[in-house]
Structure 1
Amino acid sequence: MVTPLFRVRSRELMGSSSRCRGCPHRSTVAGTREYVRGLARAAEAAHGKRAFGLWEGEDLVGYADDEPEITDGTVPGDVNLTYAVHARARGRGVAVAAVGLLVKNLARTGAGRAAILRIDPDNPASLRVAEKAGSPRVGEFLSTTDRHEDGTPARLLLLRRPQPPADHG
């Protein structure tokens, strides 16, 4: 099940710990609350990043988002997709399904002409997700925004999936 993340209470993401349940990154309770509030503000304004929780039953197992404002390595009309799945839920097609649902949602809303994924070439699992989701590799570039820990620009692979025609029926 996919649920808009801004509709998830930060308490559901954090539980009683200081780490976001289901999120693969470190976060604080306050930081997670602000992130969720920012998503709600973007939703109310009908622009910006749209993030969704990925659920297996009652468990939040990851998140996915689309962000039309990313311009690094993109062309006008591209909408950047990202996803993260907790280790306990990997290898079950959760990320592939999430990318498919994001692409369908973009087509339904008419947002963008293509869904893109900007992936670190040293992340073979993410590359497999993109390829299984029907996003062929179209190039690579040196990022002007993403950096390695040592401050050097990140080299990213670009995968693009053209939008299917909107289904108005």
Structure 2
Amino acid sequence: MTADDGGFKEFVETRYMDLLRLAYHLTGSAQEAEDLLQTALVKVMRRWQRIDDPMPYLRRVMVNQHITSWRRYRGVEVLTGDLPERPGRDVADRVVEHEALGQAMRRLSRRTRAVIVLRYVADLPEAEVARTLDCSVGSVKSHASRGLARLRDVLSPTPRPMDATGAER
């Protein structure tokens, strides 16, 4: 029996763009997102007949694969703020904001980034994120809180206030 017998092909055709978007937000790179998704789909296809609910299962496979590959390779990617061409102002502003958000997301730990992506990009409830990452709801809340605070700090256009000793408050 092949994976297509159980609707795998239809599932991929229907959900591919949602999955690719999730992979992109996990990796921060279109090429890495495609690689991550393809690897996850191959793993899921092998077990397709035994999976009851494919979306949570596939999300978990993607997160685990992403964390595993990061641990294995830990490559450094150098990004520049220089754009080759300067299109219209509105598009340029969006590109700069998108790049700034991408850089800020890459500063988060893989686990925290996974929580932020699953919670706010995939719009999953905390309990589902906890099941996907095999952790407690409290851990999800903690990672989300710290991750959002870190993103605010990094993306904030104004410097943080200083106390009397010159340390940030």
Assess same fold via TM > 0.5: no
Structure 1 length normalisation: TM-score?
A: 0.29
Which protein has the bigger strand share?
A: 1
Structure with max Cα Rg: 2
